[in-house]
Amino acid sequence: MSLSLVSARLFESFMLNGEIFFITLLLGLPLGLVVSFGSMSRFRPLSWLTKTFVWIVRGSPLMLQIIIVFYGPGLIWGIKGVGRVDATLVAFVINYACYFSEIFRGGIEGIPAGQKEAGQVLGMTRTQVFFKVTFLQLVKRIVPPSGNEIMTLVKDTALANIIANKEIIMMAQEYGSKGYIWPLFYTLVFFLAACGLLTLLLGRVEKKLSYFR
Amino acid sequence: MSVLEVQNLQKRFGTLEVLKNIGFSLDKGETAAIIGSSGSGKTTLLRCLNFLEKPDGGRILVDGGVIFDAADPKTQKESEIRKKRLHFGLVFQSFNLFPQYTVLKNVRLASELLARERPDYRKDRKAILDGLGAEARRTLESVGLSDKLDCYPHQLSGGQQQRVAIARALALAPDVLCFDEPTSALDPELTGEVLKVIRELAERRTTMVIVTHEMDFARAVADKVVFMDGGVIVEQGTPEAVLVNPREARTRRFLTRYSGA
Give A8-43 pLDDT, tens digit per residue.
889 999 999 999 999 999 999 999 999 999 999 899
Decide: B89 and B175 in contact? Cβ < 8 Å: no
Cβ pair B154:A213 closer than 8 A: yes
Interatomic CA distance for residues A129 and A136, integer angstroms: 11
Residue percentage of chain A with pLDDT more than 90: 74
Residue of B nearest to A122 (CA): B110
Report the half-sphere exposure of B26 (CA within 13 A, side-chain side).
Answer: 29
Instruction: Evaluate whether A46 touches A38 at the Cβ level (below 8 Å).
Output: yes
Cα–Cα distance, A118 to B216 (Å, whole number): 28
Residue A45, judged by CB atoms within 10 A of its CB (0-12, 13-18, 19+), counts as exposed
Residue B116 neighbours by CB distance under 10 Å: 11
DSSP strand pairing (B224-229 vs B31-35): parallel
How close does chain A come to B99, measured CA to CA in Å?
A: 6
d(C-alpha B246, C-alpha B231), whole Å:
18
Q: Is pLDDT larger for residue A119 or for residue B259?
A: A119
Q: Is B213 exposed, middle or buried (0-12, 13-18, 19+ CB in 10 A)?
A: middle
pLDDT category of residue B260 using cuts at 50, 70 and 90: low
pLDDT tens by residue, B18-39: 999 999 999 999 999 999 988 8
Chain A residues 107-136 within an 8 A CB cutoff of chain B: 112, 114-115, 117-125, 128, 132-133, 136
**Cα–Cα distance, A140 to A202 (Å, whole number):** 11
Q: How many CB atoms lie within 10 A of CB A52?
A: 11
CB proximity A138 to B under 8 Å: no
Can you tell me whether residue B190 is helix, strand or coil?
helix
Average pLDDT of every residue of chain B: 91
Contact B85 A132 (CB under 8 A): no
The SS3 call for residue B66 is strand
Residue A97 contacts residue A153 (beta carbons within 8 Å): no
3-state helix, strand, coil in chain B (%, to 5): 45, 25, 30
Candidate from A121, A211, A213 with C-beta closest to B90: A121
* pLDDT bucket at B108, cuts 50 / 70 / 90: very high
Q: Structural domains in chain A? A: 3-208 (1.10.3720.10)
Positive or negative torsion for Cα A186, A191, A193, A196: negative
- Provide, as residue numbers in chain A, all residues whose Cβ is less than 8 Å from the Cβ of B102: none
The kind and range of the H/E element at B96 are none
Mean of pLDDT values over A86-109 = 94
> Which ipTM score applies to this complex?
0.91
Q: Distance (Å, rounded) from C-alpha B45 to C-alpha B96?
A: 19
Instruction: Please list every residue in chain A whose beta carbon sits closer than 8 Å to the beta carbon of residue B109.
Output: 122, 132
Q: Among B52, B86, B114, whose Cβ lies nearest the Cβ of A117?
A: B52
Tell me what the pLDDT averaged over chain A comes to.
Answer: 92
As a whole number of angstroms, the distance between CA B181 and CA B94 comes to 9
Selected residue of A120, A121, A134 to mutate for chain B interface (largest B Cβ count, 10 A): A121
Q: Is the dihedral of CA A75, A80, A84, A88 positive or negative?
A: negative
Tell me the residues of chain A between 28 and 87 that have a Cβ less than 8 Å away from chain B: none
What is the structure's pLDDT at B71? 86
